[in-house]
């Protein structure tokens, strides 16, 4: 009887180990490919710019910048000021106050001397009604403030689309700052290819960075360790992976912090979904589905040089809130568009990108928790090779760390940022901590993301804000 049970457990462990070896091979290979492709693309881009393979003349595609804001009185005026200083000629700024409980609207009205105006709105996508509209005409570009009834971020973005005048719109977060040349850079793929319907910008943590007129004056790694680890994580997981997906039109996410969209196509597919928490990912997946099912030739691009500086959480609680939200958004987007999975009509995005997000993003926290439980069980029945397990874990940590560092240093060197020696050492030490500790914390957070889902599903995700270091 005992022997039979032991045999069953052995068979189980055998199956589990084969699964995990395959799972980790898949993940490591993806990570390796992403970092190699990402780094080489960054170096090639540097070479391209060095040899003036750029559009030297000032070509402008008119764009509307939409800034959805909710309780952003602390940062919104600074954000708008930084937008007004951008090196671009034809654009407008639309701030949509989604029924804030603080003085977001009044702060803007006072800061920019805005005047009330009765403006008819062409409702092309659904959104809550407006309460008032203010405008400022004495600025470099038109600035509009729309205060509307609370409806969530997607609803605010839809209002922005309705109010916007130009054929392309950009969505940015109210606590983000665009680099001075970011509009030129994010528009570049549109000039290169008429079929581009969306372009994702490159999001970089601004904690520790000193910005002056949209330019980096001083680059330091954040003094806060949690923020510092996120800098490394952003480079490995987001920058490198998105460059890889871009190679085969497989991007499934354009961050809500900075993305450009063709308004006509977004309206045709119904605008932002107001019932999801991850409206940014949902829109991109919907664009894939809409364009492919209507036989439209389309491209969704990623612009590495279009840089948006954003604050990353400095408190563990804020980080967990943010990751929980991201995970729920991921779940909603993937389940709503599950018809895309392994469907040849949608091309590589349905096989490669969807599979990656399913296995290594959506299911990974559960798989990782299952792995930990299996290790505990193996301890209990004394079926674990502890030295081998430790060796395997060290190799995994070193591998992940080296890839993080490669992505990080590639970015630093290719955009001519200078970091101090102590920051270099800090990056080396913290990448190990990020792979061995932070990763498991975020995995646990994501595994428990569904707690309180019904209650929080349409709320704005808030983290503690600080004023960005602008001059």
Contact set with other proteins (CB under 8 A):
21, 25, 28, 32, 35, 39, 43, 46-48, 50-57, 59, 61, 115, 117-120, 122, 135, 137-138, 190-195, 391-392, 395, 398-399, 402-403, 405-406, 409-410, 413
Could you tell me which of 180, 177, 110, 187 has the C-alpha nearest to residue 145? 110
Taken in order 266, 333, 443, 29, the sign of the CA dihedral is negative
Q: What are phi and psi of 223, to 5 degrees?
A: -75, -25
Q: Which residue(s) pair with 301 in the sheet? A: 199
> How near is the Cβ of 262 to other proteins at its closest, in Å?
14
Could you tell me which of 179, 149, 374, 171 has the C-alpha nearest to residue 283? 171
Contact predicate 66/172, CB 8 Å: yes
Please say which residue, 436 or 448, places its beta carbon nearer to other proteins: 436
> How near is the Cβ of 420 to other proteins at its closest, in Å?
15
Please say which residue, 95 or 190, places its beta carbon nearer to other proteins: 190
Which run of H or of E encompasses 453? helix 453-456
Please say which residue, 43 or 450, places its beta carbon nearer to other proteins: 43
Please say which residue, 195 or 374, places its beta carbon nearer to other proteins: 195
> How near is the Cβ of 47 to other proteins at its closest, in Å?
7
Placement of tokens 């540097």 in the chain: 46
Please say which residue, 283 or 303, places its beta carbon nearer to other proteins: 303
> How near is the Cβ of 43 to other proteins at its closest, in Å?
7
Please say which residue, 339 or 391, places its beta carbon nearer to other proteins: 391
Q: Which residue(s) pair with 204 in the sheet? A: 309
> How near is the Cβ of 391 to other proteins at its closest, in Å?
7
Please say which residue, 372 or 395, places its beta carbon nearer to other proteins: 395
> How near is the Cβ of 266 to other proteins at its closest, in Å?
17
Task: Concatenate the DSSP letters of all residues of 74-126 into one string.
Answer: TTHHHHHHHHHTSS-SSEEEEEEE-S-SSSHHHHHHHHHT-EE-------SS-
**Within 13 Å, how many C-alpha atoms sit on residue 6's CB side?**
7
> How near is the Cβ of 147 to other proteins at its closest, in Å?
17
How many residues make up the chain in this entry? 471
Placement of tokens 């591998």 in the chain: 399
């Amino acid at each position: 009887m005992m022997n039979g049970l032991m045999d069953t457990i052995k068979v189980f462990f055998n199956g589990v180990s084969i699964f995990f070896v395959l799972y980790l091979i898949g993940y490591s290979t993806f990570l390796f490919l992403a970092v190699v492709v990402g780094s080489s693309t960054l170096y090639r881009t540097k070479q391209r710019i060095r040899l003036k393979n750029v559009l030297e003349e000032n070509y402008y595609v008119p764009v509307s910048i939409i800034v959805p804001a909710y309780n952003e009185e602390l940062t919104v005026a600074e954000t708008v000021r930084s937008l007004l200083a951008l090196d671009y000629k034809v654009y407008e700024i639309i701030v949509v106050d989604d029924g804030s409980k603080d003085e977001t609207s009044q702060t803007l009205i006072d800061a920019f001397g805005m005047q009330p105006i009765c403006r008819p709105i062409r409702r092309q996508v659904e959104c809550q009604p407006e309460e008032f509209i203010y405008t400022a005409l004495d600025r470099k570009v038109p600035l509009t403030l729309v205060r509307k009834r609370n409806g969530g971020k997607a609803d605010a973005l839809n209002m922005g689309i309705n109010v916007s005048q130009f054929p392309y719109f950009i969505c940015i977060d109210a606590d983000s700052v665009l680099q001075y040349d970011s509009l030129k850079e994010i528009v570049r793929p549109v000039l290169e290819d008429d079929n581009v319907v969306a372009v994702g910008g490159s999001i970089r943590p601004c904690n520790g960075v000193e910005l002056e007129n949209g330019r980096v004056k001083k680059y330091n790694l954040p003094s806060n360790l949690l923020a510092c680890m996120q800098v490394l994580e952003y480079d490995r997981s987001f920058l490198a992976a998105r460059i890889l997906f871009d190679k085969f039109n497989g991007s499934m996410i354009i961050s809500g912090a900075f993305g450009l969209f063709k308004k006509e196509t977004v309206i045709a597919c119904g605008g932002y979904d107001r019932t999801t928490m991850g409206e940014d990912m949902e829109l991109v997946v919907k664009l894939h589905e809409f364009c492919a099912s209507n036989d439209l030739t389309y491209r969704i691009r990623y612009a590495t040089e279009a840089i948006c500086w954003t604050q990353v959480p400095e408190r563990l609680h804020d980080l967990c809130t943010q990751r929980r939200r991201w995970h729920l958004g991921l779940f909603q987007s993937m389940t709503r568009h599950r018809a895309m999975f392994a469907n040849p009509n949608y091309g590589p995005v349905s096989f490669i990108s969807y599979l990656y997000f399913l296995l290594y993003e959506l299911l990974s926290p559960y798989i990782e928790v299952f792995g930990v439980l299996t290790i505990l069980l193996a301890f209990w029945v004394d079926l674990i090779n502890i030295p081998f397990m430790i060796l395997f874990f060290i190799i995994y940590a070193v591998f992940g760390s080296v890839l993080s560092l490669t992505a990080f240093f590639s970015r630093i060197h290719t955009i001519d940022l200078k970091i101090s020696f102590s920051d270099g050492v800090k990056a080396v030490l913290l990448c190990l901590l990020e792979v061995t500790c932070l990763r498991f914390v975020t995995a646990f957070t994501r595994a428990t993301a569904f707690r309180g889902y019904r209650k929080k599903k349409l709320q704005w995700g808030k983290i503690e804000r600080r004023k960005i270091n602008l001059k």
